[in-house]
Chain A
Amino acid sequence: MGEPMTITSNPAEDRAADSGILSFPMDRAAGCPFDPPPRLQAQQQEEPLSRVRIWDGSTPWFVTRHADQRALLGDPRVSADATRPGYPRSAPSNGRNNISFILMDDPEHARLRRMVTGSFAVKRVQAMRPAVQKIVDDLIEEMLAGPNPVDLVQAFALPVPSLVICELLGVPYDDHDFFQRNSSALVKQSLSVEERTAAHGALLTYLDDLMGEKLAHPADDLLSSLVTRVKDGELSRNEAAQMGVLLLLAGHETTANMIALGTVALLEHPDQLARLRDTDDPKAIAAAVEELLRYLNVTHSGRRRVALEDIEVAGEVIRAGEGIVFPNEIANRDAEVFTDPDHLDLGRDARRHVAFGFGVHQCLGQPLARLELQVVYSTLYRRVPTLRLATEAEKLPYKHDGAVYGVYELPVAW
Chain B
Amino acid sequence: MKVTADQNKCCGAGNCVLLVPEVFDQREEDGIVVLLDEEPPEHLRAAVREASDMCPASAIAVHEDT
Contacts and interface: CB of A to CB of B under 8 A. Distances in A.
Asked if A and B bind, the verdict is yes
B12 A114 contact: yes
Contacts of B25: 123
Interface string B15-54: 1011001000111111110000000000000000010011
Contact of A122 (B11, B17, B28, B57): B17
B29 to A, nearest CB: 5
A114 B29 CA distance: 8
A117 B57 contact: no
Contacts of A74: 56-58
A117 B30 CA distance: 5
A32 B63 CA distance: 45
Interface stretch (A78-86, A237-245, A254-262, A361-369): A361-369
Interface residues of B, number: 23
A364 B32 CA distance: 11
A118 interface: yes
Interface string A370-399: 100000000000000000000000000000
Contacts, number: 75
Contacts of A338: none
A117 B12 contact: yes
Given A122-B18, A358-B56, A364 B13 contact: yes
A121 B54 contact: no
Nearest to B27: A118
B56 A120 contact: no
A186 B13 CA distance: 25
A214 B48 CA distance: 41
A367 B30 contact: no
Contacts of B53: 352
7 contacts: A114-B31, A117-B32, A121-B26, A121-B31, A359-B57, A362-B57, A367-B18
Interface of A: 73-74, 110, 113-115, 117-123, 351-352, 356-364, 366-367, 370
